[in-house]
Structure 1
Amino acid sequence: MNRRSWIRNTGLLTAASITSPATNAGLVADKPVLKIAHITDVHIRGGDDAPNRFKKCLADVLKHKPDFFLNGGDSIHAADYKDVTRETMLGYWKLWDECMRTLKGYEVHSCIGNHDPWWAAPSKEDEMYGKNYVVKRLKTPGRYYSFTQKNWHFVILDGNNEHVSLDDEQYQWLEADLAKLAPGTFVLLMSHYPILGATPMLAGGGGHSDYKKLKNLFYKHRDKVRICLSGHQHLQDHTEYNGIQYCCNGAMSGFWWEKGDAESAGPNYYQETPPGYAMLELYADGRVTNVYYPHLY
């Protein structure tokens, strides 16, 4: 049996489909108001033919006709390592820009991953040092931000702070951002790191240390908050707590575009998760589905 048949027969394409429990009883035959692609952990670099493989993946994503893209971070391979030169880092971003031309005409809303910032600059005053340069390269309004489309509000977070958390300024902003939303507005949050879920146990950590603080805030706004997206772990998981879905989707790069190791369940897998992307459908009444699609490149 080939890999394509194996993926189809094991049902991986629909294993991550989820629906808000508050509306299960009243499902109606309507269309989503938004269809969104979630890609994360691309880790673009020159080796293993990663750019061409990524472009093929994006071509597949476009067949779903998304309204826009959410990019969960670690867009480039590993600019954060101590020995990474300016030239290497700029080479990664050049490849990223080249691949993004495939998405010309589409909005791409990104968050910062831990591997995106370049910390090895000669000084902190260097224009390419740290997260501000990542914001510039990803063309985002800031390291955290929000926007609204239809009756859905999207919050993009930056967990790249002490102990993987929101800094005080960002948390206060998030409190105010959620508090000002009108009734009937639903919220999707995206962070690079999982806030809740199983993957931190399987990957040796890597989740938000302020998960309880965030959980309490989301419970306060449980009439609005519907789903939290993440990546980082290269593992696919969905967890429900207090009626809120926490979806950690697998990495576009899988095993960093490599074949895998002894723990890989298949070619390019990280543990049991194949490389892939997710498609989300958001409805006017707050329902949301997240379906994970393995790719074959």
Structure 2
Amino acid sequence: MSRPATPTGPLRGVIPPLCTPLSPSGDVDTRSLRALVERQIEAGVSALFVLGSSGEAAYLDDDRRRTVVATAVEAAAGRLPVLAGVIDMTTARVLAHARTAAALGADALVATAPFYTRTHPAEIADHYRRVRTGVDLPLYAYDIPLAVHTKLPADTVLALAADGTLAGLKDSSGNDGELRRLLVRLRASDRGGQFSVLTGSELAVDGALLAGAHGVVPGLGNVDPHGYVRLYEHARAGRWAEAAAEQDRLAALYAITDAADPAAMGRSSASLGAFKAALHLLGVIDCPATAAPQTPLDGAAVKAVRHLLEEGGLL
């Protein structure tokens, strides 16, 4: 199997965080995952990210995680880089996932700061350096304080960029002001031309790209990868009015995540359930099941998702 060429600059473009299709019994549906990979590649995305939040990594045991990485790498077949999430509570556990992902052929790794226990910025930096030293693959930091209860300090990110520990950052902090300030500081640094900043704020992609972000990691990209590729290409060409119009359309489509009754399930269950319901309605995956104990969407919510897909021109 051929491998993607090593990037000569920062990773750019649309890097969807793939959902993990599951069977009704909770096993990884490898046929559906391959179909999802093919749809993303056909849409023109730049890379694939498995085992992130949209991939339900927190709900999957180690065997299922291995199956996801192996299936995605096999399906991509060297056409695109595969970034593997190695998210876990402590350095030792992250290193174990990282070694497994590397052995299965992943092209890069994505890790959060340690969580459950409270960590100091010096400990966070040591965590990333140990992971990068332990596995010789590009390492991307995943800043998602809502999940890990730690906001990656800008000084820590800049230091890890400067010494080559980190190849980039996926910013899902929701703090667009701090992201803008980080981009300004990166441009003034020696590593600014090599370090990739990817926004996870899928409803403000045009603004992030205008500010200098290199790409986007959109959960909604599972449902409409073509739309995000169009948005990115418009921005890259300086067609900002067209980029804004595409972003507005995607923002309307994002209402699928509001389809579920908030009194019946958590926000994460509603969002992941909506993505999977949409993929099922589009004929991409065989089953819309989410991992236990997440509550599945009911019939009324699925009907609302269908209506929004029709309004968005996808059905």
Q: Please tell me the TM-score bracket, short chain as reference.
A: 0.3 to 0.5
TM-score w.r.t. the length of structure 1 is 0.46
Bigger share in helix: 2
Higher relative CO (CA 8 A, sep ≥ 6), structure 1 or 2? 1
Bigger share in strand: 1
TM-score w.r.t. the length of structure 2 is 0.43
